[in-house]
Structure 1
Amino acid sequence: MDGNRSESGSGVNSPAPSASSGQPKVQQPKPQTLVNRPGPSAILVSTRQKGNPILNHIKLLPWEYADIPADYVVGTTACALFLSLKYHRLHPEYIYSRVRLLAGKYNLRIVLVMVDIPNHEDSLKELSKTSIINNLTLMLCWSAPEAAHYLELFKSSEHAQPTAIRTQQAQSYKESLVEFVTVPRSINKSDAASLISTFGSLQNAVNAQPEQISAVPGWGGKKVQQWCNAVREDFRVETAKKSSATNTRLPSQPQQPTAQPQEQDMYEDEEEMLRSALAESRAREPAAATANDRQEKAQEEEMSEGIAVALAKLRE
């Protein structure tokens, strides 16, 4: 009785002992969220690709055979189908059956096409339409090492951020200046620095003569020629050609074809000559009312009427 009173009066709530062993209650561990594991580090290759020379050139990353519907798996959601145009010409139904087996298992579906025939335009046009309809990405290669390099690039960029392929923009005036000067292919950053340090400003470098630019250290004849061509090339602005005349016609009349520029100029010259001749004939007034003058005047009036009729026909 006394022992029970001392335990209850102490004010300490000790864990109740187990009925069987007398030890404290076991505390259960808390569950932890597991991070999603990345895909396999190796390129998965279908057994259909045994003997393909591409496999001999995949050296930067490991690869292994696997039972997959695609030819190559280069990511968790990316795959590739290999197609030779020479084989496609003999078996055009092969690629369609392979695409049908993929269904919707991968987000990025690549068709790696080996261009190994001379006349490939029609085949590539057909494959381009097929890629658009079936949500495929068409990649062309001309050799086995190039095809292997593409597979390695896709696999190595599986977990890359979008900023990895984003171009870096210039943050200062100096960087913008160097970026502008290095637009020609043969001019590098050191050439840009020597050019600006020699002339002091971009304006002086643009207005400098080729003989002065050739005196810059590291600037040869090829660089000088490319720089001068780049800064002295005219800007070409294409403007729409405006029609010189407007056609006026009735709604019921068909539209007449417009004359060519040379023919139109010829018609305008003839019309101007007829107008001048008609003006000269009408400007002549008779000085006396003689019979001969009247006869000449009648002839001139007939000639004027003929000119007017010819001018009206020309206008029509």
Structure 2
Amino acid sequence: MEEATIVPELFSLTLPFHPPKNTLFASLRQKGNPFLSYIKQCKIEYKPVIPDFIIGEHVCALFISLRFHLRNPRYLQQRVDELLHSSSKSSHASFPYRSRYLLCLIDTNDVNANNALKKLNILGVKENISLLLAWSNEQMANHVEKLVALQQRGIDVIMGKGSEGAFAKATDCLTTIPSITKHDAHRLLHAFGTLSNIFDSSKDFYSLLPMMGKTKVDRLYAACHEPFLPPSSK
């Protein structure tokens, strides 16, 4: 990704800086980010903005790849501080952002990855930033497209129309697992993207999500990984 000069006082301008319909504002520093080439459902405009992405009038996001984070552990905290500092300095109604996301691309199998993700989750809770995980550039693009679409059309974009939407069906599937509530199911689907990713994941990743205690994690893992039928007796 190209480095770009950031304009600290951008948000003091009187010009509107929230994106128009079906448009994603991307920071100049994000030029060259591979996942952006997979975004087809919305327009991308590059702006000298402090967040990595402005998704709506009150919605922004920072981006980090886990591989980069492990090599540069101080970078993300600096970016969060920069964002929050700009927020506190602004007196305009469109800032601070009410919804803030940390888009994290899982692009490494490093032995320290799980511990790093736990710390990112703690950072998110501390700074009121929602952690959104993706395991590929295509999945990250899909997450962002849905966030942009949600600014225009509401939650039906993700949940589908009526009870027959794919999201609703996946939610019904997950809530058959003891202790897993509808809110748990929504968090799992938003974080992992598909049921397949949930089924293939580990307890360590389940436990990163809010409200996922040991009992829920154990039951979810058992439902996803243990055989449905007991071994036949001979």
Q: Which TM class, normalised by the smaller chain length?
A: 0.5 to 0.7
Partner of 2:73: 92
Distance 2:43 2:29 in 1: 18
Which of 134, 137, 154 is residue 141 of structure 1 equivalent to? 134
SS of 1:156's partner is: helix
Which of 33, 50, 54 is residue 73 of structure 1 equivalent to? 54
Q: What runs of 5+ residues in structure 1 fail to find an aligned partner?
A: 1-37, 171-182, 185-229, 231-316
TM value normalised by structure 2: 0.53
After TM superposition, give the deviation of residue 66 of structure 1 in Å: 0.6
* 1:114 counterpart = 2:80: no
CA-based RMSD of the aligned residues comes to: 2.8
Partner of 1:58: 39
Which of 24, 28, 48 is residue 43 of structure 1 equivalent to? 24
Q: What runs of 5+ residues in structure 2 fail to find an aligned partner?
A: 1-17, 88-95, 165-171, 174-227, 229-234
After TM superposition, give the deviation of residue 40 of structure 1 in Å: 1.2
Question: Percentage identity across aligned positions?
Answer: 30
Question: Which contiguous aligned blocks of 4+ residues in structure 1 show a shift greater than 6 angstroms?
Answer: none
After TM superposition, give the deviation of residue 161 of structure 1 in Å: 3.7
Q: Relative to structure 1, is the Cα distance of residues 61 and 161 closer, same or farther in structure 2, using a 3 angstrom cutoff?
A: closer
Larger radius of gyration: 1
Amino acid at match of 2:118: K
Distance 1:66 1:145 in 2: 23
Q: Relative to structure 1, is the Cα distance of residues 50 and 160 closer, same or farther in structure 2, using a 3 angstrom cutoff?
A: same
After TM superposition, give the deviation of residue 55 of structure 1 in Å: 1.6
After TM superposition, give the deviation of residue 162 of structure 1 in Å: 5.0
* 1:150 counterpart = 2:130: no
SS of 1:116's partner is: coil
SS of 1:74's partner is: strand
Q: Which has the higher strand share?
A: 2
Distance 1:125 1:57 in 2: 28
Total equivalences in the alignment: 138
Distance 1:123 1:92 in 2: 9
Distance 2:37 2:136 in 1: 12
